[in-house]
A and B are shown apart, each in its own frame.
Chain A
Amino acid sequence: MSTKSKSIASKTDFNQDERLQKVSKLKILLNRPELGALGGAILVFIFFGIVAGDTGMFSAYGILNFLDVSANLGIIAIAAAMLMIGGEFDLSIGSMIGFAGICIAIPAIYWGWPLWMSIIFAFSMAVLVGYFNGILVVRTGLPSFIVTLAMLFILRGATLALTRLITGRTQVPGLRVLIENDPIAWIFATDTFKWVFTWLGSMNLIALRTDGTPLATGIPPSVIWFIVLAIISTWILMKTRYGNWIFASGGDKNGANNVGVPVGRVKISLFIGTAVAATIFATIQVLDAGSADTMRGTLKELEAIAAAVVGGCLLTGGYGSAIGAAFGAIIFGTVSMGIFYTDVDTDWFKVFLGAMMLVAVIFNNYIRRKVTESK
């Protein structure tokens, strides 16, 4: 009994109720980091629904088209978002895409490796690059911005130099024939749910080619990867111990260290994550195009970071969401494709991208102040 009365007595010490407001459900929802990006995505769809609703953008083929672009960006944006929540940047994502591409193509074409071995080789290199980025940042305490900027140049330069040294050119074609019967390549190169599209075609619900097969043949592998990665990443962030460590490492690395979070290990693993995501991106594109290009992925790191920021990630770390970055990628992918269906000159896309990012940063900054504000 006495403890109860005590707790009530001291309760009044803290809850000076006249100064506290009830927090509404709406406000809690507004505090979620991905809300801005979700709202933005809805606005974008409404906009194109009105402007380009009757142009074929929202036909099965059109939808798959902009989903494919969104999904490709989304794969790296989600990994970039995880790393940003962990308090670091990776500017070498774009270069890693080019590097991973030739890591697949050169062994497969010039050294006669089976395709699956080349793919595994590329992913091993990604783990190494990510580990190297991570260990450099963690050990030296240098800003990851600088360390990975250096890596951006090193990887891109090495990609160009090695490719020209080995092949005498900057592109490596001829991969398409190797995909068939490969035990691994199908994971990155198969359209799925084909039967749905065949059925839809047979019912005359979607557009057909002249030979009677549907124009949209199936869900591209990028979209499946994107959805799976979005779900896994969100699960990790929200539901696992490791997820809590990511937030803690980005929010206050000294504090996290003091209570026993292995901050260094968490950050290194996140750097490996971005490099691996870049390699997934590269594998899908290389197998789709049938060739590797040394310039592939240029500037993709900035688009990935932009999507993560639009998705609610703070540049200072400790806050953000994977699903938000996914919505950010959908916004960019949809606009970049949708703009072809409107009368607007496509040159304006980058203007939109920049403006969107500015709005997002200002909005995020406001949210952060709200969240960290003392009573």
Chain B
Amino acid sequence: MSDYLVQFNNISKFFGKVIALKDVTMKLRKGEIMCLLGDNGAGKSTLIKTLAGVHKPDEGEIIIEGKKTIFDSPKDALDMGIATVYQDLALVSLMSVTRNFFMGREPLKGPPFFKTFDIEKANEIAAERMGQIGIDVRDPSQAVGTMSGGERQCLAISRAIYFGAKVLVLDEPTSALGVHQASVVLKYIVKAASQGLAVILITHNVHHAYPVGNSFTVLNRGKSLGTYEKKDISREKLLSMMAGGEELDKLEVELKEMNRTSV
């Protein structure tokens, strides 16, 4: 038995001839935030879908709490406590906070065959849960469309936690947000981790990842460039790894050239 909550060992995924992922390894303990960094096309989406049970890995193994596991469907992953919050958040903006919070998993009351959606209880739980993360839903029957981007992100995360997530996989939770909203969401992510969840934070924004992450995995063209503890790597180093350091160096040289010729 290891003390890791989840381990993804040497995961590979191929689509025909295309190698989407090759030998990606990630390990997470309870309460840890691992940031998965990568530029566009690095294989982030494929990796997320593999973690969420949408794709089956062609090679490698997934070990949850010491047990080797195979996900046949997204539901399997969810049942094992791996909850993925996609960029679209799976929120319906025309529906109320409560109806979104319990979408697909509505609490019921009443006799068999006449079971009704227990709206009062649902309202209460939704308001309480949102309150815990500092979002005062004045009225849980208000439409989600009236909430800010940060609030929606927090609602989606809070919903995943309420329904028993042990590992949270967050897909670009801050990409669409302003500086202030992003910081609120990041704060909430740290808080969730401190309550014992393991968080995989997928982002291309090093400035958002660095302050909150415990470890960093950099993906480039489907391969992992390694996992680093925070103490072992600087923000600048991460940034240059992500973008492929040489490319930035080259760009710098080219820009200098341009300056010289234009003078």
Contacts and interface: CB of A to CB of B under 8 A. Distances in A.
B104 A259 contact: yes
A7 B132 contact: yes
A120 B115 CA distance: 28
Interface in A2-32: 3, 6-7, 9-11, 13-15, 23, 28, 31
Contact of A240 (B90, B115, B131, B146): B115
A368 B136 CA distance: 23
Contact of B146 (A11, A244, A260, A371): A371
Contacts of B94: 247, 251, 314, 318-319, 368, 371-372
Interface in A23-47: 23, 28, 31
Nearest to B142: A23
Contact of B104 (A14, A251, A256, A314): A256
A261 interface: yes
Interface in A174-220: none
Contact of A256 (B90, B132, B133, B134): B90
B237 interface: no
B95 A260 contact: no
Interface string B120-146: 000000000001111110110011011
B67 interface: no
B90 A258 contact: yes
B235 interface: no
Contact of A371 (B74, B104, B145): B145
A372 B131 CA distance: 22
B92 A251 contact: yes
Contacts of A7: 131-134
A7 B136 CA distance: 10
A127 B132 CA distance: 47
B93 interface: yes
A248 B146 contact: no
B104 A248 contact: yes
B117 A239 contact: yes
Contacts of B90: 252, 254-256, 258-259
Nearest to A3: B132
Contact of B103 (A13, A244, A368): A244
Contacts of A10: 133-134, 184, 187
Contact of B116 (A239, A247, A375): A239
Interface stretch (B38-46, B148-156, B250-258): B148-156
Contacts of B75: 260
A368 B143 CA distance: 10
B139 A247 contact: no
B88 interface: yes
B104 A261 contact: yes
Contacts of A332: none
A316 to B, nearest CB: 9
A345 interface: no
Given A10-B184, A14-B151, A368-B94, A23 B139 contact: yes
Main secondary structure, interface of B, reads: loop
Contacts of B88: 252, 254-255
B116 A260 contact: no
A255 B145 contact: no
Contacts of A9: 134
Contact of A373 (B78, B102, B145, B150): B145
Interface in B72-112: 74-75, 78, 86, 88-95, 99, 102-106, 108
A375 B138 CA distance: 14
A318 B102 CA distance: 16
B117 A241 contact: yes
A71 B147 CA distance: 39
B115 A245 contact: no
B117 A251 contact: no
B86 A258 contact: yes
A260 B104 contact: yes
A228 to B, nearest CB: 16
A372 B93 contact: yes
A7 B191 CA distance: 11
A11 B115 contact: no
A14 B95 contact: no
A3 B128 CA distance: 13
Contacts of A140: none
B212 interface: no
Nearest to B98: A244
Given A14-B136, A240-B116, A374-B146, A259 B95 contact: no
Given A255-B91, A255-B92, A259-B90, A245 B104 contact: yes
A31 B95 CA distance: 12
A328 interface: no
B119 interface: yes
Given A254-B88, A259-B104, 16 more contacts: A7-B132, A10-B184, A13-B134, A14-B150, A23-B142, A248-B95, A251-B92, A252-B93, A260-B75, A261-B104, A318-B95, A319-B94, A371-B93, A371-B146, A374-B145, A374-B147
17 contacts: A7-B134, A10-B134, A10-B184, A13-B134, A241-B106, A243-B117, A247-B92, A252-B88, A254-B90, A255-B89, A255-B103, A256-B90, A256-B104, A259-B90, A259-B105, A260-B104, A375-B148
Query: Which 7 pairs from chain A and chain B are nearest by CB?
Result: A10-B134, A251-B92, A372-B145, A255-B90, A260-B104, A259-B104, A241-B106
Interface of B: 74-75, 78, 86, 88-95, 99, 102-106, 108, 115-117, 119, 131-136, 138-139, 142-143, 145-151, 180, 184, 187
